[in-house]
């Protein structure tokens, strides 16, 4: 496994800080744009058509969505202050918001939707700043369950598109177009490899559109009437500042879905880091915070522009891995292509003219893969019987509430119908059960002190008391004290033994089965311990500095070491085996 990863990293031709030839960057940006622009355009089209929002608003919302996607993609690449990951992360409209956006349009109209998107973006900025708090709330079990519920919530809307055809068209064209689109996408995805597999969705939509045109379903006239260059003459819906009952009833759902969008952004920003460097690196959670912040800025701009929210697209990770070009120049080129495309009504009309049955089949594949992604998140991080209870109960409660079969009278009245959304109902259920597990877990012992070498005796006393309280033998106690000592010295780095008030340290100790887990939560500063351990692993010669000695002793004492660096804190998690 390690050899494969090293070979994969060796395939990186341009790292984020390196500059490839301009033609290469522009070509890759254009390729990635072709892979993602359909999703950016079709999401607002699905929302507005499902809510009968009208063609004027549809044209404006699509134009604004593409512009915002281009701007936020550039910000993700270049990193403006604390906004942006500094990696190639394509931004686009979010399918997770389809159901709540349709509800907002139907109940309140476009101006209320804009206000809700702006309000939820402010929550996302807070989330970015305090991302470290999520590590115990959004566990893989919770986030995986919620992602699995997104298709449950959205699919009823998507399946309505399968019969959305012009009245004068041949009715047989709907099932035939949808089936051929589905078969084309699935067969290419199953049999193709490499670059061709990335194009499966695009090829499927093209084939489905060609077939649908034979039955008169493809709106050729729309494409013919559209100008080559221009902007919508009107359509901006404004922003509602009344904050009425509809706003407050839907705000919890929007915030909850924003949280889910953040989960997707976190996953993509972690994944892009793993494929962007020649040598493996520990995940930089400061870059993850920047990605979530840029996502929040994209949503703020979306709300101000009166269109649907956006998120990161994982296709940029696949393209980066395949091509080996991780340069930020590709992200800048991608964003510019989006912005240029927004000013071509004819180009956008080509996508908007795609008939409902083709869109329905295309989106069914996407949402099916999203369901599987949720399953993978749960399984890859391990699941015991407690996790199984959380996933199973939460998922089926979400399905029941979405289908209106669990006490429909009560559910429809409670909190303004908040729980009628299956993703919200199931997600809240999973979070509450996870919270119960946290409360019922064995008591955690905590100590706080300045981050200084003079506090070592205090740390050793704390760890000895923890070991005695949990009936751990002398060998485990010695490993805990060794791990504590070497982690302290490694966090200190080259600092002196004098206490530094500006850097504090909190240690949390608890049992996890037979093992002991220590969390060192410190003020930010210094290098990543995981990266330092990788360096000394690659250089097996005798240690030449006291710091290298500490690192080797730490690796000997601990069974696993994880160092997460955020802007506000560093968290080093040490696991010591209890056997």
pLDDT in tens, the chain (579 residues): 343 444 444 577 888 888 888 888 888 888 788 778 888 888 899 899 888 888 889 999 999 999 999 999 999 999 888 899 899 998 999 887 888 898 899 999 999 999 999 999 998 898 888 887 777 777 778 878 887 887 888 788 788 888 877 777 788 888 999 999 999 988 988 887 766 776 787 888 889 989 988 888 888 888 888 889 988 878 888 898 888 888 988 888 888 888 878 877 887 888 788 888 888 777 788 888 999 999 999 999 999 999 999 988 877 877 787 777 888 999 999 999 999 999 998 988 888 888 888 888 888 887 787 788 788 878 877 788 888 899 999 999 988 988 888 888 887 777 666 677 787 788 888 888 988 887 877 778 898 888 888 888 998 899 898 888 888 888 888 888 888 888 888 788 755 444 445 678 888 898 877 788 888 888 776 656 555 555 445 444 454 455 555 566 676 677 778 788 787 788 888 888 876
Q: Are 63 and 305 in contact (CB under 8 A)?
A: no
Euclidean distance between CA atoms 260 and 145, whole angstroms = 10
CATH number of 445-576: 3.30.565.10
Gyration radius of the chain's alpha carbons: 26
Task: Report how far apart the first and last C-alpha atoms of the chain are (Å, whole number).
Answer: 26
Please state, as a whole number, how many other Cβ atoms lie within 10 Å of the Cβ of residue 542. 8
- Per-residue pLDDT at 48: 92
Residue boundaries of the structural domains of the chain: 2-163+239-352, 395-441, 445-576
Euclidean distance between CA atoms 270 and 251, whole angstroms = 28
The count of C-alpha atoms lying within 13 angstroms of the C-alpha of 57, restricted to the half-sphere facing its C-beta, is: 22
CA angle 311, 315, 317 (to 5 degrees): 95
Helix (H), strand (E) at residue 551: helix 546-557
Query: What six digits make up the tokens of 341?
Result: 């495309």
**3-class DSSP state of 313:** strand
Torsional class of 279: left (φ above 0), alpha (ψ -120 to 50), beta (otherwise): beta
State how far the alpha carbon of 14 is from the alpha carbons of 78, 320, 380, in Å.
16, 10, 30
Q: Are 498 and 558 in contact (CB under 8 A)?
A: no
pTM of the predicted model as reported, rounded to 2 decimal places: 0.76
State how far the alpha carbon of 292 is from the alpha carbons of 85, 197, 258, in Å.
8, 28, 10
Euclidean distance between CA atoms 317 and 269, whole angstroms = 9
Beta-carbon contacts of residue 110 (< 8 Å; ≥ 6 apart): 53, 57, 61, 237, 238, 306
Exposure class string for 175-201: b at 16+ Cβ within 10 A, else e = ebbbebbbebbeebbeeeeeeeebebb
Helix (H), strand (E) at residue 405: none
Q: Are 94 and 263 in contact (CB under 8 A)?
A: no
Euclidean distance between CA atoms 470 and 578, whole angstroms = 11
**3-class DSSP state of 443:** coil
């Amino acid at each position: 496994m390690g050899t494969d990863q090293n070979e994969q990293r060796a395939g990186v031709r341009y790292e984020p800080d390196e500059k490839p030839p301009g033609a290469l960057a522009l070509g890759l940006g254009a390729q990635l744009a072709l892979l993602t622009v359909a999703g950016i355009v079709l999401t607002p089209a699905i929302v507005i058509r499902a809510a009968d929002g009208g063609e004027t608003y549809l044209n404006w919302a699509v134009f604004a969505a593409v512009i915002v996607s281009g701007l936020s993609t550039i910000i993700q690449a270049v990193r403006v202050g604390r906004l942006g990951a500094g990696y190639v992360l394509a931004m686009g409209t979010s399918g997770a918001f389809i159901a709540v956006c349709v509800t907002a349009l139907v109940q309140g109209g476009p101006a209320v939707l804009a206000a809700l998107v702006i309000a939820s973006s402010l929550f996302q900025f807070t989330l970015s700043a305090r991302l470290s708090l999520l590590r115990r709330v959004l566990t893989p079990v919770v986030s995986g369950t919620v992602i699995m519920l997104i298709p449950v919530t959205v699919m009823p809307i998507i399946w309505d598109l399968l019969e959305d055809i012009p009245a004068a068209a041949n009715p047989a064209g709907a099932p035939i177009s949808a089936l051929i689109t589905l078969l084309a996408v699935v067969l290419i995805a199953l049999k193709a490899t490499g670059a061709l597999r990335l194009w499966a969705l695009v090829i499927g939509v093209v084939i489905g559109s060609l077939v649908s045109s034979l039955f008169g379903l493809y709106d050729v006239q729309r494409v013919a009437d559209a100008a080559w260059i221009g902007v919508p003459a009107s359509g901006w819906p404004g922003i509602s500042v009344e904050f009425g009952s509809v706003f407050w009833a839907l705000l919890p759902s929007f915030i909850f879905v924003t949280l889910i969008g953040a989960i997707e952004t976190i996953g993509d920003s972690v994944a892009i880091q793993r494929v962007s460097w020649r040598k493996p690196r520990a995940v930089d959670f400061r870059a993850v915070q920047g990605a979530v912040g840029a996502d929040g800025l994209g949503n703020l701009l979306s709300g101000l522009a009166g269109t649907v929210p956006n998120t990161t697209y994982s296709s940029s990770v696949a393209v980066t891995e395949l091509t080996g070009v991780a340069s930020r120049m590709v992200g800048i080129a991608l964003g510019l292509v989006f912005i240029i495309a927004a000013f071509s009504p004819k180009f956008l009309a080509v996508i908007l003219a795609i008939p409902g049955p083709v869109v329905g089949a295309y989106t069914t594949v996407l949402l099916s893969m999203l369901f599987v992604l949720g399953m993978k998140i749960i399984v890859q991080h391990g699941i015991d019987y407690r996790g199984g209870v959380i996933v199973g109960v939460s998922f089926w409660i979400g399905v029941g509430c979405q289908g209106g079969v669990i006490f429909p009278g009560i559910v429809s009245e409670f909190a303004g119908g908040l729980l009628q959304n299956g993703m919200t109902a199931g997600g809240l259920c999973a979070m509450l059960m996870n919270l119960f597990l946290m409360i019922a877990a064995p008591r955690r012992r905590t100590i706080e002190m300045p981050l200084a070498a003079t506090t070592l005796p205090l740390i050793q006393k704390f760890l000895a008391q923890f070991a005695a309280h949990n009936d751990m033998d002398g060998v485990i106690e010695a490993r805990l004290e060794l791990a504590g000592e070497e982690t302290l010295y490694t966090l200190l780095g080259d600092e002196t033994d004098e206490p530094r008030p500006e850097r504090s340290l909190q240690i949390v100790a608890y049992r996890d089965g037979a093992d002991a887990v220590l969390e060192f939560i410190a003020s930010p500063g210094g290098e990543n311990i995981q990266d330092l351990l990788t360096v000394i692993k690659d250089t097996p010669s005798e240690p030449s500095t006291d710091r290298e000695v500490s690192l080797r002793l730490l690796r000997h004492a601990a069974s696993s070491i994880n160092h997460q660096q955020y802007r506000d804190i560093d968290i080093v998690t040490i696991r010591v085996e209890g056997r």
